[in-house]
């Protein structure tokens, strides 16, 4: 009863290893196929969602930042809901960046040396090693920028993973064996606390996705059905916004109480980062704002 989240610097590697681990464990797979369902909910083409998972708004001129953030929040909400079923291997939907604080979710990063990746790219695209090397470097920079903009986390940093395997040194068969052995450790068993954390994350993500349909700059915390929403706003719009948020969030399954904080800046000292963090210790937070994106991009 665990969750294995696999990510890699190569999509093919992620897919192959996720399938092998899922087969060996008899687990279900959660991957980019969820985008079909998310696309129906958002009323967009699944290709747009794929692009949102790949690119930051600055590159995608046709996708404004508010839409980009909305699409990501919809993907996040759907994936978190599916992860609640347990016994799942997840890849390709950036779950390693938003499944935070769930002790029974084991995050695995599979890396291969840039020389090997460049050689494989050169062969695949029929280009020189120099061009392939540059492509690999650019790709790494792009992923780093994307993960920082979307979730404020550098996905190329090994410290965010529970297990990092270098496929230049460890054969795929050995890597599958290592992952299966590691997920068998007691520490990755679900406990009441971790199951609740995942459930709270899923509710917070669902609330945020619903709110981002019509608003922007939203952060959400959830615990045991109580939801706290932080939103940017000032003056007269405070009451109106608060009322609208309570109405939308209150209709979502699992939400029993909604508290709204409309602030001029939801990431400064007056916002959630200091007083509310201490008021609600350990509450999972869902949502990056435009302010965070600007910070990450700089």
Residues forming the site for another protein (CB under 8 A) = 101-103, 185-189, 191-194, 196, 281-282
Q: How many whole angstroms separate alpha carbon 215 and alpha carbon 292?
A: 17
HSE toward the beta carbon, residue 93, CA cutoff 13 A: 31
Structure letter (DSSP) for residue 221: E
Give the nearer residue to another protein in terms of CB position, either 29 or 105: 105
Give the nearer residue to another protein in terms of CB position, either 186 or 236: 186
Give the nearer residue to another protein in terms of CB position, either 114 or 226: 226
Asked if 88 and 143 touch (Cβ cutoff 8 Å), the reply is: no
Give the nearer residue to another protein in terms of CB position, either 1 or 131: 1
Asked if 38 and 49 touch (Cβ cutoff 8 Å), the reply is: yes
Residue 251: burial class (beta carbons within 10 Å; 0-12, 13-18, 19+): exposed
Q: How far is the CB of 220 from another protein (least distance, A)?
A: 19
Q: How far is the CB of 95 from another protein (least distance, A)?
A: 15
Q: How far is the CB of 247 from another protein (least distance, A)?
A: 27
Q: Which residue in the block uniquely carries the two structure tokens 């009322």?
A: 243
Structure letter (DSSP) for residue 187: G
Give the nearer residue to another protein in terms of CB position, either 192 or 298: 192
Structure tokens at 61: 């001129």
Structure letter (DSSP) for residue 252: S
Q: How far is the CB of 227 from another protein (least distance, A)?
A: 17
Q: How far is the CB of 190 from another protein (least distance, A)?
A: 9
Q: Which residues of 75-106 are buried (b: 16+ CB within 10 A; e: fewer)?
A: bbbbbbbbbeeeebbbbbbbbbbbbbebbbbb
Give the nearer residue to another protein in terms of CB position, either 21 or 197: 197
| 3-state secondary structure at position 273 | helix
Query: Shortest CA distance to 164 belongs to which of 4, 1, 7?
Result: 7
Q: How far is the CB of 211 from another protein (least distance, A)?
A: 26
Q: How far is the CB of 189 from another protein (least distance, A)?
A: 6
Query: Shortest CA distance to 29 belongs to which of 113, 121, 95, 73?
Result: 95
- Bridge-partner residues for 30, per DSSP? 90
Q: How many whole angstroms separate alpha carbon 268 and alpha carbon 22?
A: 43
Give the nearer residue to another protein in terms of CB position, either 100 or 252: 100
Q: How far is the CB of 293 from another protein (least distance, A)?
A: 26
Give the nearer residue to another protein in terms of CB position, either 198 or 272: 198
| 3-state secondary structure at position 45 | coil
């Amino acid at each position: 009863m665990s969750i294995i989240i696999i990510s890699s610097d190569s999509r093919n590697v992620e897919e192959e290893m996720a399938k092998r681990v899922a087969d060996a464990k008899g687990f279900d797979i959660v991957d980019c196929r969820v985008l079909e369902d998310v696309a129906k909910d958002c009323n967009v083409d699944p290709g747009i969602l794929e692009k949102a998972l790949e690119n930051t708004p600055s590159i995608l001129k046709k996708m404004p930042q508010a839409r980009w953030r909305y699409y990501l929040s919809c993907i996040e909400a759907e994936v978190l809901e599916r992860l609640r079923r347990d016994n799942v291997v997840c890849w390709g939907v950036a779950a390693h960046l938003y499944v935070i604080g769930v002790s029974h979710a084991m995050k695995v990063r599979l890396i291969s040396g840039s020389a090997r990746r460049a050689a494989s790219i050169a062969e695949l695209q029929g280009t020189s090693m120099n061009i392939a090397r540059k492509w690999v470097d650019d790709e790494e920079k792009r992923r780093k920028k994307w993960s920082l903009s979307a979730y404020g986390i550098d996905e190329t940093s090994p410290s965010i993973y529970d297990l990092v395997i270098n496929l230049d040194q460890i054969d795929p068969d050995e890597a599958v064996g290592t992952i299966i052995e590691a997920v068998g450790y007691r520490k990755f068993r679900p406990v009441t606390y971790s199951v609740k954390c995942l459930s709270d994350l899923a509710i917070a993500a669902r609330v945020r996705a619903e709110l981002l349909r019509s608003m922007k700059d939203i952060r959400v915390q959830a615990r045991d059905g109580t939801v706290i929403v932080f939103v940017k706003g000032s003056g007269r719009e405070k009451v109106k916004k608060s009322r609208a948020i309570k109405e939308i969030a209150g209709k979502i399954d699992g939400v029993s109480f909604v508290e709204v904080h409309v602030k001029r800046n939801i990431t400064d000292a007056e916002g959630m980062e200091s007083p509310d963090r201490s008021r609600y210790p350990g509450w999972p937070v869902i949502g990056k704002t435009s302010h965070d994106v600007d910070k990450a991009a700089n």
